Each structure stands twice: as C-alpha cells, then as structure tokens.
Amino acid sequence: MINRLATLIKFGIVGVMNTAVDALVFTMLAALGTPALIAQVISYSCGVLNSYWWNGRWTFRDARRQGPNNELLRFVITNLIVLALSSLILLLSNHILGWNLVISKAAATLLGMILNYIASRYWVFRAVSATAAYPSTDANERSVS
C-alpha cells in the first residue's frame, strides 16, 4: 500500500513537471504566433519525452516490468491517443465552443492527465506478476496440496 502511494506521488510530481514543460512550450509557441494545434503537438511531445524519461527511471524504476520494447510501444500508443483526444478537446472547446485558449488548453490538459495516468498505471508501466516473469518450465505442471 505504501509502495503504491509512493508511486502515485512520484507519478503526480512527474505529471506536474510534464504539465509545466507542456504549458511553457505551448505558451512560447502561441506567443510566437504558431497555430494552436501545431503548438499543441509540439508542446505535448516535449511533455511526453519528459514523462517517459522520469517515469521510466524514477517513478516505476523498482517495478519488475514487461521490458523496454513493449513498454516503449505501449507508451507511444497511449500518448498518441491522448494527444489526439486532447487536441480534439482543445479544438472543440476553443473553436466550436468559443472558450478562451487558456481555458481550452487547461481542459485538454486535465483530460490528458486523467487518461494518461489510467493507461500508464494499468497498461504501460504495469508490473508483471512473478509467475509471468518466471514462468514454469512445464506448462502442464500442477501443484499438489
């Protein structure tokens, strides 16, 4: 229980760092006149790089995980989906609903954070069970009790 709480706190700290990176890059690009969707893709990508680095090396460092290739593929898939959904929220809230760009970005970021946590916790950085990590050599072996 304490380990899960520590992991959640670390994930939250990394999330705050990612959000800061994303917001800073987005703000700089928007101030330079970059269209919102292009700024979103670039800023989100910067946050994603930060996220993968810190979550892989700090947040989930101690977990017996599924291996870097599967993990990286799942991470990329997750973040492409979250990027698409958060970009859609940004576009709809800003251009269709007429919300302020900052409010639209905040809504897109909040949705992205929630989805990213769920996917990271239960799919991307999930720990494999000890039996999956060290499978029995005989698939038909049964325990006798």
Residue 70, CA distances (Å) to 13, 21, 73, 75, 78 in order: 24, 26, 5, 8, 12
Give residue 65's pLDDT: 54
Q: Above 80 in pLDDT, residue 10?
A: yes
Q: Above 70 in pLDDT, residue 143?
A: no
Q: How many Å separate Cα 76 from the centre of its chain?
A: 9
Give residue 141's pLDDT: 37
Return the half-sphere exposure (C-beta side, CA atoms, 13 A cut-off) of residue 106.
5
- Mean pLDDT over 92-98 rounds to 95
Better pLDDT: 103 or 127: 103
Q: What is the pLDDT of residues 61-94, one digit of tens each?
A: 765 555 666 788 888 899 899 989 999 999 999 9
